[in-house]
Every structure is written in structure tokens, then in C-alpha cells.
A and B are shown apart, each in its own frame.
Chain A
Amino acid sequence: MKLITAIVKPFKLEDIKVALEARGLHGMTVSEASGYGRQRGHTEVYRGAEYTVDLVPKVRIEVLVDDADADSVVTTIVDAANTGRIGDGKVWVVPVDSVVRVRTGEKGSEAL
């Protein structure tokens, strides 16, 4: 099993949800995140007041999938999250040893 983590632009969450649901994946964990990569912070001028945005708001999406599905799910997320502009985010995959569904006690792929 794999854990796929994606850090993307907040407004892309809906698109990613729809794309993953379309391929039968209904569960995900979403959290608020902020950070920066190459995008760095940017300076905004609003009504004369200049302020620096150090950390850019992002969402963090986590999905557990079977090994065989990992690559295609990553592709789905990347396609949905892409705007072609800087700050689109990153997706990474890490191996997972075991998973248990709390309610039923099911383990491994059964629990996904």
C-alpha cells in the first residue's frame, strides 16, 4: 500500500475531489497547510500598505491506495491540480506497512 500526499493550491481541492471520485476513490484526508517552494513569498501592495506574504496557503491531501493504483492516482491528482503556473504544488508517494479500519478491525487492502 502507498500513502500519496499532495500539496496543492486550495481552490484545486474541488477538482481533485471530483477527479478521484470519478475513478472510484471516495476517501481522503484534507488539511490546511501553508508554505513555499520556488514560488517564495510575494509582496503585495494594497491601498498603499505594503506587506510580504511569506507563506502561501495550500491544502494537503492524503490518500491511501493499493500499490498497483499509486501511479495512476498520482497522475489523476497532478492533472487536476495543474494550472501551469508557479506554486501548483507537489505530490509524493511513500510505502505503508499496514492499515486498520477502526470500526471493523479490517486490515490491509480490505481497510482501504
Chain B
Amino acid sequence: MGDFAKRRAEFLAQDQKPSPARRAEFLAMTDDWVIDLARAAGIDEINGALVAVGGYGRGELSPGSDLDLLLLVPPATNPNLIPVVADKLWYPIWDESIRLDHSVRTVAQARTMAADDLKVALGLLDARTVYGDDNLRQTLTAQVLADWRAMGEQRLPELRSYVQDRTARNGELAHLLEPDLKESFGGLRDVGILRGVAATGIAEVDQTGLAQAHQFLLDVRDALHAVTHRPSDRLSLQEQSAVANLLGFESDDELLRAVSSAGRTISYISELTWHRVKHQGVTARKGILRRKVISSQITDETPLAAGVIARDGEVVLTESAEPSADPVLILRAAAAAAQHGLRLHPDTVRTLAEQSAPMPVPWPRDAREALVSLVGAGRLALPVWEALDQFEIFNRLIPEWSVVRAAPQHNPLHTFTVDRHLVETAINSSNMTRRVARPDLLLIGALFHDIGKARERDHTEVGVELMPAIGARLGFNAKDTDVLVKLVQHHLLLPDVATKRDPEDDATVDFVAGIVQDHDFLEMLHALSEADSRATGPAVSSEWRLSLIADLVSRVHAVLRGDEVPPIPELDEKRLEVGASGDIEVVLDSQASLPTITISAPDSTGLLAACAGVLALHRLSVRTATTQTVGDRAVSVWGVTPQYGDMPDTNDVASDLRLSLEGKLDVSARLERRREDLFGVGFTYPPAQVLILDDVSARATVIELRAHDFPGLLRLVAQAISSIDVDIIAARVATLGSEAVDVFYVTEKSGTGAGLTPERAQQVRGSMLSALELNNSPVE
């Protein structure tokens, strides 16, 4: 070991708590040595400069870091002298077994390298003269920076895909139980990248908390290198105790929470910065770089929900929005952002966090639905969730969340912290909403299935104790809350039984059937098990393991009795009196928590579609609907919420319905235009499913639609059914968050009141699916 290596080893063996001051001391010690080497190597004789780049350039030297050094030489240097100087520089460093990343270039050569290689360019942006002619280094910095700015629009998409690749490989720092401090998203590498983005001048980088998070991660890395005597940046479980100890944390859990919090700050700022870059129109497509307005379908100031608009590609509040008088606004804005694939503007989140009125308990229906919509948006919910989480908004809305937030779990099967595991499970289940009859209960059950974790006792037991209060607070009725509790209670049932008991044994199947009771719950539990497994980690989500669960589920389905027959809905007498005169009549009842509109009209083919269309036209979102035919009239009761503003005038609704039925108002075209305004920002949802429920009703064929909701969905589907020349004698519509579960009772027109033959039923199904398929086609 050479002299420097000895001094270095002694310094590192001091076992002192890492800090910026200590890092500065280590840097100065290293610099002094490198300066001596540079002087001795004769850099002055060639008028060169020894330049530190990358992390060393920024002064972020950890015990295991490489020395990134560039020997910068003037263009006219005698080529015979360069190897002599370089050898005198590099050999002593190698001899001391210090890891070295080295190069010798002129300013022009370095500039060319930077143009070809993104990492070189980023490294050179942080160039710092260690010894020699600082003017030479300043020339280099000025030219590289000028190139970087000039080429920013081309470099940033490249940089963005580099960040995405890294995230795919290394995950997110804030949510991993064994994160890579440098390469995971939200890690040290991203801080350097943010400096690079800021240097282009294309997007502003929010600095709130950034420097602090950065210094903390550097401290953790120093401690990790000191403990392991290796340059690895992966904070593995087995090292966490020692690292926590060196940093003065009371436990490794505390360390991981702090690392998570720092990672969250950096990843939030990164997400936001990249969103701004994208919004500035810098994007790459098929290798051709171009500027374009990203949110081409979302025009400026597009209203998304009451008090919420999209402006410049971000979700902001309208001037008239009042967070202090509108507690649901926060969730409505979040759901609207997620469903449209947009980010919440940071100032909007801050305003909502600071000014929102406390949520009433139980939550109003629209608050609950907004939460369902938010998590139902799948991956698009993540950035919105993170933005809210940055201000600990969920801790306030759901106090139980604060215990699981960033909570580590000591289980090698798990990849994520408890809160991210819950969010990941909910996101995974958003892909399975078509498999279940109650997508809202699946999504919420998934979001809370492990809410009992990070406490001293068995997490399922704690979850079962917590869930009734959570379900009631969210405003679910007692029956739905029971289902949620049962989901929490049995979320491990299927994987446990499938891997530990003989699926061929009748007793095993009967045991599970006895617990789940019906097909609906079994389907929901199956979806939750799969979503949970995939969110846990690769060890428990292999296709092999999921096939064991699927096999058990199919055996249990086979022994469960048939589902309960959903009876044809019947309206109460009072409703049926509406429009007894025979003309079109529209009555509004806005007293109930969910306002209802009762419509009576002479029965005709396509009436349901016309009613649904007119309501959509008046910007009413249909949450529930029940229809019944009485003689030659059809009465329908619609539970609706205005998308923005107030309820429409009933006379206007009646008159539009009349015009529509007379063919004088083209509802289709008007709705279609509006849909183009609202959709098409990369949101993909699971395809619709249409189920024909056999033998459910003697009087009619029952057809169930499970689809993603959008304005005009019901009109489109009702029209598709009517186009097959059948009657819809009744319907029951439920919109759960952004998911619609609609049941139609259909008969032949003959007046015999008979249900459809299987072939005719398939024809109706085909018509519904093709209508939705057409509608799913991308808007150009």
C-alpha cells in the first residue's frame, strides 16, 4: 500500500459519522495528493490542466468512488510529451490501487466526445480544475455548456429515455427495501441529471428540499462504503443495521424511512421537471426529434371537473374553486388528473394541502368515487399519488395511512415499502376490474389489504380491526364494508391454501367455498391475490404460483351454487306516477345526497339511449339508473351528478329529449366532439366486457356490461342494443368511480315478453362490443 492509500485508509478507519464537512475533508485530502502528482508529472510544461469531472468534479467523493480525471491539453502540444506526462499521472494512482477513470483530450476532442455520449456531456458540465491552466478548463466548460444548451431539445429526450431505462432496471429509491442509492429513480444519479436539465434552460427545476435530500443520500452512501469496504451503492438488508448505526439512527427502519423520504423528494422533483420538459414540447418519436404541443387533445383551459381545469398540460383549479368550502375538490382534482394522464400543478397541490376543508365523515359519495377513480386510473395514478403524498395529504384523509407510509418490511419476498405495496396492488387490480362485479370494492380492498402492517401484531388481525372504521369513513354502506373487511381478512387465503393444501381433496375445496360463499367474492379475492402477488415481488408472482391459485379457484367455482338472481328492477309507485298523462315529463329531486331525475316518456325503441344521451349532453354524469316499462310508457330514474356547475333546468332536458326523439337533435355528433376534447392522452383502460347471465330471469335475457365510464357510454351501449331490434324492458346502471357496471334486461320485440335465444343474445353482445370497440379507436 502506498503512502496516500495508507493515509486514506486511516482516514476512513476513523469510523466517524459521515457529513458534508467530513466529505470536504476527504476531498481536500484527495485533491492535495492529485495536485502533487500533477505538478510532478509536468503539467505546467505542457500548459495543460488536470480536470475533475462527474462526481469528483462536483466534490461528491465517497470512499468507494472512482477518480474521474481528464488531462486537458492545448491543441499545439508536442504529441511526444503527452504520454510522458500522462504516464507520470496515472501510474502512481494505479499503484495505490485507487480506482481511476481517465482520459487525455484537447478541448475540441472533449467537445466531440460530449456530443456523442450523453454521460460524457453530463460529466463535463461538472468539470473542475484540480491543477493547471484554469482558462483551458473554463473554455471547455463554456463550449460544452453552449453545445448543451443549443442541443438541449435533442439531448433531453435522450436523457429522459436513459432515466426511464434506469428506473425500469433499478426501481424507485423511495419504495424499495433494498434500493440502489445512485441508480434507483430518485437517487444520486438523478440529482446530476436535474443539474443537466436545468443547464439547458428548457425547464425550471424546483429546488425545495433538493440539496438536503442530496446531502443525506451522500452521507448514506459514505456510510455504506465505509461499512462494506466496497464501492457498491446498493443498500442491501444485511448492511442496513451497520449503516444505520454509523449514521446515528436508532434502527434500520428509521434509516430506511429517511432514505425513502429523501428519494421521494428527488423523484418528485424529477417527475415534475420531466413533465415540464415534456410540456415544453420536447419529445422524441421514432428517432426524429420535433417540437409539438403534447396535449393536442387537451386544449388550454379544458374543464375536467367542477373547479378543475387543464391548463398548459397540468391540472389547476379554476378561479372560482374554493378548497376551503369544497373538501372533495382535492380528490376530484386528483382523479381528474390521473384519469386524463396529467400531473397536478405543484402550486395547486400546495393550495389544496394548505386550504382544503377537512373531509366530512362519512365521506360524501363523490369523494369516495373520486378515490376509486384515482386508483382505478392504474399507472397514471402514480405521479398524482406521489404529488399528494409529498404533502402528506393521505395521512390527513386516512389517518391509518401514516403508519404504513414509507414503512419498511422485513421480508425478503417483498420489494416495496408497505404504502407503495398497497398502491401497487391497487394499480395492478385496476387491470382486473372487468373480472369482478364490484370494481370499486376490489380497488379499495386492494388499497387497504395490508393496512394493519407496520404494527406489533399480526397484520391481518389488525387490518380486520381497522377496516370497518375505514370503510364506514369512506362512506360505504354496512354490506359493502363487510365485503371490504372480508377481503382484508382473507387476502392470503387463496395463496396459502393453493400452496399448502391438496387442491384435489374435496375438503380443501369445500373449506375455501365455505369462506368465500359466492362467485362474486371468489372472483374479487382471486383478483386481489393476483394483484397482491405481483406487487409483492418476483418470488411469489411466478406464473407457476399464480397457476396454482387459478387451479384452486376454478375448483371452488365448480362447487359454489349459482349466483343469486338479480330481479328485474321495479320502481316505487310515486315514481311511476310521473308522466301519467302520457307526454314527456322530467322531474328533478335534488334533496337526496345523490340528485335524481325521473323521466317518463312514451315507450319507443332507442328511448333509453336518447335519455342517456340528453343527460350526457347536459353534462350530467350518470351514477345510477333504473328503468321500468309501464304499459306504453317507460319511466326511468337517474341518479346524476353535474360534471361542473349546477343541475340543468328540467324543461330544457324535456325539450331536448323531445327533439332528439323526433330526430331534430344530433346528440351523437355533439357528444363525439366533446369526447375528442376530453380524451386521448395516452390513457388505456382494460377493454369492456359483456356477460350474458344465463337462466337468471325467466322474463328477459340479462346482459351485464363492465366498462370504463365516459360521457355518453350508456347512450352508445343502449343504442347498440336497440339496433338489434330488441326491447330493453329494464336496466340497472351503477357507475363506481370510473368503472361502469350496467345490467340490461332485454326481450324480443314480438310482445311475447320472451328472453332471447342464445344466438340472438350473442348478436346483442356483438353489437355492444363493436360499438365500444369503435369508440376505443384512438382519436387522431
Contact = CB atoms under 8 A, between A and B. Distances in A.
Interface stretch (B151-159, B467-475, B500-508): B500-508
Interface string B490-510: 000000001111111000000
A13 interface: yes
Given A46-B554, A46-B557, A57 B502 contact: no
Interface string A1-38: 00000000111011000000000000000001110000
Contacts of A13: 499-500
A57 B554 contact: no
A11 B557 contact: no
B508 to A, nearest CB: 8
A106 interface: no
A64 to B, nearest CB: 22
A11 B544 contact: no
A74 B296 CA distance: 68
B499 A46 contact: no
B547 interface: yes
A26 B503 CA distance: 27
Given A11-B500, A11-B501, A32 B542 contact: yes
Contacts of A34: 544
Contacts of B544: 32-34, 57
B545 interface: yes
B502 A9 contact: yes
Contacts of A57: 544, 547-548, 551
Given A83-B502, A85-B504, A10 B557 contact: no
Contacts of B504: 83, 85
The residue among A46, A57, A85 with the most chain B CB atoms within 10 A of its own CB is A57
Contacts of A44: 554
B543 to A, nearest CB: 9
A102 to B, nearest CB: 14
A103 interface: no
B558 interface: yes
Nearest to B539: A32
Contacts of B558: 46
B557 A47 contact: yes
A33 B499 CA distance: 13
A61 to B, nearest CB: 14
Contacts, number: 31
Nearest to B504: A85
B551 to A, nearest CB: 8
Interface string B535-575: 00000001011011001001001100000000000000000
A11 B503 contact: yes
A32 B545 contact: yes
Given A47-B557, A85-B504, A11 B499 contact: yes
Given A83-B502, A85-B504, A10 B548 contact: yes
Contacts of A32: 542, 544-545
Nearest to A47: B557
Nearest to A85: B504
Q: Counting chain B CB atoms within 10 Å of each CB, which of A11, A13, A47, A53 scores highest?
A: A11
Interface in B479-536: 498-504
A36 to B, nearest CB: 14
Nearest to A14: B500
A54 to B, nearest CB: 11
Interface in A40-99: 44, 46-47, 53, 57, 83, 85
A33 B542 CA distance: 11
Contacts of B501: 11
A11 B545 contact: no
Contacts of B554: 44, 46
Contacts of B499: 10-11, 13
B771 to A, nearest CB: 24
A9 B542 CA distance: 17
B634 to A, nearest CB: 34
A95 B91 CA distance: 51
A11 B500 CA distance: 4
A5 B503 CA distance: 23
B232 to A, nearest CB: 18
Contacts of A53: 551
Contacts of A83: 502, 504
A10 B503 CA distance: 10
Nearest to A51: B554
A59 to B, nearest CB: 9
Nearest to B558: A46
B695 to A, nearest CB: 14
A63 to B, nearest CB: 20
Nearest to B499: A10
Contacts of A9: 502
A57 B542 CA distance: 11
B231 to A, nearest CB: 21
A53 B444 CA distance: 34
A44 B500 CA distance: 22
A88 to B, nearest CB: 11
Nearest to B545: A32
Nearest to B550: A46
Nearest to A48: B694
Contacts of B500: 11, 13-14
Interface string B299-328: 000000000000000000000000000000
B332 to A, nearest CB: 39
A19 B503 CA distance: 21
A83 B554 CA distance: 22
B167 to A, nearest CB: 28
Nearest to A44: B554
A44 B547 CA distance: 13
Nearest to B503: A11
A16 B391 CA distance: 50
A83 B500 CA distance: 13
18 contacts: A9-B502, A10-B498, A10-B548, A11-B499, A11-B500, A11-B501, A11-B503, A13-B499, A32-B542, A32-B544, A32-B545, A34-B544, A46-B554, A46-B557, A53-B551, A57-B548, A83-B502, A85-B504
Given A11-B501, A32-B545, 18 more contacts: A10-B548, A11-B498, A11-B499, A11-B502, A11-B503, A13-B499, A14-B500, A32-B542, A33-B544, A46-B554, A46-B557, A46-B558, A47-B557, A53-B551, A57-B548, A57-B551, A83-B502, A83-B504
Interface of B: 498-504, 542, 544-545, 547-548, 551, 554, 557-558
Which 9 A-B residue pairs are closest in the complex by CB-CB distance?
A32-B544, A46-B554, A14-B500, A11-B500, A11-B501, A11-B502, A57-B548, A57-B544, A10-B499
